[in-house]
Structure 1
């Protein structure tokens, strides 16, 4: 009785509820993105699957193609993140735009989605996770930065997704350089976001991207 009450107070779900919420999230994802081309299941007790939705990132009004994937976690929002304060959302799922859903990309995305519950922390817009070494092959960047979606269908998911009465934050995953991190720390996030606009920051993660600072 007391363990059940503790789970309810913390925002965790019973197994049957978890399955329903899993399907609820996936149905909202599919309503905006179609069926996933791949789903990478998680066998851990804290289950966080990753769905890969194919997308051509070139706007409909333009010619050419820029094919990649929208990776989206399913399970991070099962529980409220610890220590959230103010108007920040207590639950989140992570999104990463990539060329291919490689094992190292998926492993990093799943690790990030579990990190708040390991380190007793929370993620929101502008938060960073600095690492001692590059997490993905082919890049020198060592810091993850979380932003929010600006592409229509992804924004729509963020607007309608809700778990147990809590709105769910959709956070996009980005890798930044030491110099870019220093700029954010010294001048704030807005000047860095301006740099992204000035340099036509590509929506799909490019490990070979040069630092903008």
Structure 2
């Protein structure tokens, strides 16, 4: 676990699930977002609690021995997850499937990704994405898909389903590929 030592009202730590033979990638999950309910509009059939996650390739320099993940080139996905987990509380809103979050600064060093979308998970089994928290409450695990500016425009103009369909057709999943081409440039 990567603990965030912060004076912010809602610190967000990160859990790291190590790769395995059956699942050859890291899973990084926020911890702290679900401590408070989000401001879900009345009448919505959505859970007020969620956490965010994304997957990193098995060769990402992420271990107690190889601390290369602290370098800016590799650290940005961790900061991104924390930023997404804070977003609903900083903006008095909520996040769920189909939502996008524009990020006012470049996420990665190359400046390719400028926002994220929360799309249906493609790698994770259904029993992974909903955690029964008791008292009929569910904590949803929302996959964070970093998006290029063109993908953010595609989502805004044509909707969640169009972006999701493009991602599926191009093989984009919640497993981060920082060098992947924009799916919006293949229209």
TM-score (structure 2 length as normaliser): 0.78
Supply the RMSD in Å over aligned alpha carbons: 2.2
Given that 1:149 and 1:170 are in contact with CA atoms closer than 8 Å, whether structure 2 keeps it comes out as no
1:81 equivalenced with 2:53 (yes/no): no
Determine the C-alpha separation between the residues in 1 that align with 2:76 and 2:134.
29
Residue 191 of structure 1: how far off its partner (Å): 2.0
1:167–1:185 distance in 2 versus 1, CA, 3 Å? same
Could you say which residue in structure 1 is the equivalent of 2:107?
Answer: 135
Output aligned runs, 1:15-26, within 5 Å. Answer: none
- TM-score in terms of structure 1 length: 0.69
Higher gyration radius (CA): 1
Structure 1 unaligned blocks of 5 or more: 1-38, 61-65
Query: Map of 1:1-213 to 2, 5 A cutoff?
Result: 39-44=1-6, 45-56=9-20, 67-85=24-42, 86-99=44-57, 100=60, 102=69, 103-153=75-125, 155-162=126-133, 164-213=135-184
Any idea what SS the aligned residue of 1:167 has? strand
1:138 touches 1:208 (CA, 8 Å); kept in 2?
Answer: no
Distance 1:132 1:75, change over 3 A: closer
- CA distance in 2: counterparts of 1:43 and 1:163, whole angstroms: 28
Determine the C-alpha separation between the residues in 2 that align with 1:123 and 1:129.
9
Tell me the matched-pair count: 167
Q: Work out the CA distance in 1 between the residues paired with 2:134 and 2:4.
A: 20
